[in-house]
Structure formats: structure tokens, C-alpha cells
Amino acid sequence: MSEEEKIERPQTTDDGPPEEIIREEKAVPGLEQISEPLNVTNDSNDTMEVHKHPHHVTHKKNWGEYFLEFLMLFLAVFLGFMAESYREHLVEKKREKEYMKEIVENLKYDSVRCTLNADLNVILISGIDSFRKEIKNALEGNMNSNALYYYAIRYGGQLNQAVFNTSAISELKNSGSLRLIENKTLVNELADYYERKIIATGDYDPSKGSRPAVIKTQREYFSLLGLENYIRSYDNISMDNGYSNVYEYKEILTMSPSLKLLKTATADLERLYNEESGYMADIKYYNFWLYLCRDAASKLITDIRNQYHLE
């Protein structure tokens, strides 16, 4: 570096730019120095109005505002209550429909059981009636002991009973949900079926009356000695054969020598005839109630399906 360049270079310090650079800075056009502070005060509005907001702590509410707040609060609570009530109503209606579905299934079961057992009892009544005729023939001096044994063992003291399914109606009552059924005609129809017809059918069940007496009497007249095949037939009871023994009853008719009655006196035979006749009448009356319950169950199924639009 030459000596002339050293002399002409301006001296700098760490504190800022050279003095020559500062002197040479030009003022920015249009920028004027302000000698006095800007007065932002509006002389025409020396004082400002202060407006109180309705939610200000010092704001005083009038009765209209109180009424509006009360009305809004009341509507909120009321609408919430109505929404909850409506929700509970929907839940209860759904529960009611489910109960009705279960009752329909129970009624189907009742209808099938009543029909099946009543129809079997019709066959049984026919057999007991034939038994009565053979007893009457014996009273007239034409005794066929094998035939008497056949009818006594095959039909005497037998009975087909219907067991009703009341699980759904019991649950409906115990849960207090019977009140959900708004159709009072349907409520009365259910009450008539479950509280009158079914109970009456049970009351007229011969098992509670004449059947035990008939079975006891028959044991006084008919001996099982010589009927080993019949006795052994009870070893083969199973669900596959309807919980019944499998035996060819007609083999009794051809047994030789002929089977003997334990009692053959006229008075004894009349007693047997009377008891079998009374028992047959009891079965007929029981069957009347079975068919009555079947018809009532079928009508209830139709009415419930129509009321609740069930398939």
C-alpha cells in the first residue's frame, strides 16, 4: 500500500462509521423534522361518554331481562325433560314389543300342546268307551277277559295333559311392565286367557280327581302276572319314542290261556263300569277346556300381531 493511500483513508473506530460518511448522508426527500409533538386530542370532545354494557357489574337489570333469563332457563329445563321423557317412551315401547313377541311364542307353544294332547285324548276316549262296552258285555254274561285286559292296560287310567307356558306373562307382570300395554281390550283378553281359562283347565284336569281312583280300582281287578313283555317294555323309554314305552298291546288279545280277572262279581263289574264311565266324562270335559284354550291362544296371537305389526 502506498503512502498516499494511507494518508487519504479515513480513520474508523469500532463505535460507528466514519465522520465523513455521516456528513455525506442526504436527508430523505419529503421527511420533515417535527419540532413539536403531535396533538391527538380532539378539542371538540374534551370529555368522552362511557356507556355501560348490560353485563357490566354496575348495570341494573329491569324486570324484562329477568323474565327473559327465567324463560330461557325454563325452556332449557323443560325441553330437556321432554327429550328424556320421549327417549324413555321409545325405550318402553321397544320393551313392550319385545314382551309381546315372547308372549306370542308362548301362545304358539300353548296352541300346539293343547291341540296335540286334546287330539290324543279323543283317541283315548274312544278306547275307554270300548272298554265300557266290554264291561257291559261281561255284565250280560259274555266276558272276554283278554279284551278287558287289553282295554284296561292300553287305555284305562291314561291321560294326555297340556302344560302351559306362562314365562313371558309372568315376567311382564313381575317387572311392572303390564302398564305399558295401552290397548285395554288386549289387556282384558290376556287376563281372561291367563287368569281364567288356563286356571280353569288346570282345575278340571282329571289327574286331580278321578284318575287316581280309576288307577287304584283297576289294580284290584287286573293282575300283571303273565304280562312280562309289557312290564319289560318300560325298560326302553326314551325321548325318541315320546317318553313312552314301546309295546305291542294287541298281543294281549291272543294270549292263551286267557287272562283272569281278580274280581268278577256283578257288583264289582258295575263299580268298574261306573268309574271308567266317570273318568271318560272327566276327560271329555278336560278336552273341552283344552280346545277352548287353543282357540283363545290363536285369537290372542292374531290380535297381538295386528296391534304390534308383528310377522
- CA-to-CA distance for 308 and 180, rounded, in angstroms? 13
Q: Is the pLDDT of residue 71 over 90?
A: no
- CA-to-CA distance for 215 and 222, rounded, in angstroms? 11
What are the structural domain ranges in the chain? 77-235+244-308
- CA-to-CA distance for 91 and 93, rounded, in angstroms? 6
- CA-to-CA distance for 121 and 11, rounded, in angstroms? 136
Amino acid letter for position 84: E
Instruction: Determine the average pLDDT of the residues in 89-109.
Output: 85
**Residue 271: exposed, middle, or buried by beta-carbon count in 10 A (0-12, 13-18, 19+)?**
middle
Contact assessment for residue 263 and residue 148, using Cβ atoms and an 8 Å cutoff: no
Rounded to the nearest 5 degrees, what angle is found at the Cα of 239, between the Cα atoms of 229 and 106? 140
H/E segment holding residue 132: helix 63-139
Per-residue pLDDT tens digits for 163-219: 999 999 999 999 888 888 889 999 999 999 999 999 999 999 999 989 999 999 999
Burial code of 75-114, b = ≥16 C-beta within 10 A, e = fewer?
eeeeeeeeeeeeeeeeeeeeebeebbbebbebbebbbebb
Per-residue pLDDT tens digits for 242-289: 788 899 999 999 999 999 999 999 999 999 999 999 999 999 999 999
- CA-to-CA distance for 267 and 113, rounded, in angstroms? 39
- What's the pLDDT score for residue 21? 43
Cell numbers at 255, concatenated = 294270549
Contact assessment for residue 236 and residue 170, using Cβ atoms and an 8 Å cutoff: no
